[in-house]
């Protein structure tokens, strides 16, 4: 069971939460996978999602790439969730640290995921700390970019289908970086 550690409710009623736990346990409409552009789900969050959700997720991902080509930051793919407790997996391609314009690319991946959730008329979505694992994105900067992008989206899209956005953080160090950013910045306020 994931443990909620912070929550902010915007005047629109939309909720933004931080939680500690395993994103594959989330019972929201969609979870976000920290994917690569080929949707080859072998390690990290992607590997955990396929191991728990089942081979169907990789099969659908392979089909997506065959039909649509490589996945970009701005246009995440999506698949059904297999055995996971959510309905969909949105496959967001985060940037690799050192490739240039990493902050802009991470913001694009987060925004693209929120827009995909809106397109699918979903009420709730959970994110991991995208790109902070094998892609090497510094966790404090990822926290800043992700929290700012999500809060800006909720402020600007008060009529959105998306009523709950949660960031689920697995380890204590990552959670602490996101808590520090949450507590020391005012971009979470409407």
Query: In this structure, what CATH number is given to the domain that contains residue 111?
Result: 3.40.220.10
Is residue 16 a part of any domain in this protein? yes
Distance from C-alpha of 42 to C-alpha of 105, rounded to nearest angstrom: 22
Q: Is 89 within a domain?
A: yes
Gyration radius (Cα) of the chain, Å: 15
| Among candidate residues 47, 48, 55, 50, the one with its CA nearest the CA of residue 22 | 48
Quick check: is 189 in a domain? no
The whole-number pLDDT of residue 186 equals 63
Average pLDDT over residues 143-163: 96
- Measured at the CA of 138, the angle between CA 137 and CA 142, to 5 degrees, comes to 80
Q: How many domains does the chain have?
A: 1
Mean pLDDT value across the chain:
94
Q: What is the pLDDT of residue 44?
A: 86
CA 87 – CA 85 distance, rounded (Å): 7
**Model confidence at 190, in pLDDT bands (50, 70, 90)?**
very low
Residue 156 lies in a domain: yes
Domain that holds residue 112: 3-184
- Give me the percent of the chain exceeding a pLDDT of 70: 96
Phi, psi of 19 (to 5 degrees): -140, 155
1 has a pLDDT exceeding 80: no
Within-domain flag for 171:
yes
Distance CA 45, CA 23 (A): 8
Measured CA to CA, the distance from residue 25 to residue 66 in angstroms comes to 29
């Amino acid at each position: 069971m994931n443990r909620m550690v912070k929550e902010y409710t915007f005047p629109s009623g939309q909720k933004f939460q931080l939680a500690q736990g395993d994103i594959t346990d989330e019972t929201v409409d969609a979870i976000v996978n920290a994917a690569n552009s080929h949707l080859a789900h072998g390690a990290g969050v992607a590997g955990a999602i396929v191991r728990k959700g089942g081979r169907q997720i990789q099969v659908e991902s392979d089909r997506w790439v065959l039909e649509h080509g490589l996945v970009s930051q701005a246009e995440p793919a999506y698949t059904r969730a297999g055995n996971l407790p959510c309905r969909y997996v949105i496959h967001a391609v985060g940037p690799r640290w050192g490739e240039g314009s990493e902050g802009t690319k991470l913001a694009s991946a987060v925004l693209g995921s929120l827009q995909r959730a809106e397109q699918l008329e979903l009420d709730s979505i959970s994110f991991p700390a995208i790109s902070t694992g094998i892609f090497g994105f510094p966790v404090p900067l990822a926290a800043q970019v992700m929290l700012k992008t999500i809060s800006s989206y909720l402020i600007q899209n008060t009529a959105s289908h998306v009523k709950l956005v949660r960031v689920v953080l697995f380890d204590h160090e990552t959670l602490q970086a996101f808590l520090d950013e949450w507590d020391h910045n005012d971009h979470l306020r409407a």
